[in-house]
Amino acid sequence: MRIGIVIPAYNVALHIGDTVRSVLNQVHRDWTMVVVDDGSSDDTAAVVRGFRDPRLSLVSQDNAGVSAARNRGAAGLDCEAMLFLDGDDRLAPFALKALVETLADVPDAVAAVGAYERGGRVFPPASGCLLEQLPVRNPFANGGHVLIRRHAVQRFREDLRYGEDWEFWVRLAMSAPSSPMAPCRDPRPLLYLQERLGGAYLGMATDPASYVPCLDAIHDNAGLVALFSPKRRSVLRRRAEAEMQWTVGRELIRHRRYSDGLRWLGRSLATVPNLRRGLLLAAIAVLPPEWRGPLYPYDRVGQ
């Protein structure tokens, strides 16, 4: 199976070399890769040009955002399935092989999904049709651990500056409600995410206003409106808002803005009570950072 890999890249000169090498080192060799330099002001493009492999190409454009970069890269790829890999993440050497085998084993699946690792924690793959889960939260790290059949790939919405991948997964699920997203049998992480203070979470993930356009786009989706009753949609929207509030609080705390973070965590619990999260919130003041799980500070990652 020929795989097309799209890597949007913006000012990731320190990381893009490792990302490209992780693709070059794949056990599955039938792939083509395009790196879209989205107007970087550092040496991102120069690093990519340093690689010599006929399967790798570089496209440069003025800065237009990650969605435009993904759309630009996907448009020119001749492949049977596609994977969107961020420019500062890495694939395990067996990642493409595991995903291809999963699609072969589940011929009606619209996509194959693997586990990923972030901050030293391994997250198992989301799976199934996900039609109840996706309107509430994004169960995917990003596209780097998801292989999508080419015929199912849609364009990313370029008007969304944050959560564009989440909205993409919702449309994918709604367009093929009877087609599952099949989990890989291999439990090992296929994708390793880079956590860094200079990433998107430093800004947009701590700003509640960043989420509103994405939430509106998801909950106004015609497929979702047709699938759920008005009452059920209201419940799903409320749960989605609680997830947003929890994420904002979590990211504020991870950036050591504790008082602001605690306020948003409390707001999330007031919107939709959750026992596990309530216990975590009650204990956070006395827990050492290394015991806080998803609330572990970014500037201590790797220490």
CATH of the domain at 122: 3.90.550.10
| Same structural domain, 226 and 129 | no
**Same domain, residue pair 131 and 236:** no
DSSP-derived letter for residue 208 is G
Instruction: Give me 296's structure tokens.
Output: 């572990």
213-251 per-position pLDDT tens digit: 999 999 999 989 999 999 999 999 999 999 999 999 988
CA distances 110 to 129, 143, 152, Å, are 10, 14, 7
Cα–Cα distance for residue pair 22/93, rounded to 1 Å: 7
**Domain end: 177, 193, 209, which one?**
193
Provide the domain count of the chain.
Answer: 2
The pLDDT of residue 255: 84
pLDDT digits (tens, 9 = 90+) for 26-69: 999 999 999 999 999 999 999 999 999 999 999 999 999 999 99
Q: Whole-angstrom Cα distance, residue 168 to residue 187? A: 25
Q: Which of 31, 32, 29, 37 is nearest to 10 (CA)?
A: 37
Same domain for 163 and 232, yes or no, is no
Say whether both 125 and 250 belong to one domain: no
**177 plus 277 within the same structural domain:** no
92 and 167 housed in the same domain: yes
**Which residue, 159, 193, 227, sits at the end of a domain?**
193
Q: Are residues 252 and 178 in the same domain?
A: no
What's the pTM? 0.91
The parent domain of residue 10 ranges over 3-193
Same domain, 239 and 118: no
Task: Look at the block and give the residue holding tokens 């500070």.
Answer: 297
- How far is the C-alpha of 169 from the C-alpha of 58, rounded, in Å? 26
DSSP string over 18-38: HHHHHHHT-S---EEEEEEEE
The whole-number pLDDT of residue 302 equals 46
Residue indicated by tokens 């015609």: 222
Could you tell me if 273 and 166 lie in one domain?
no
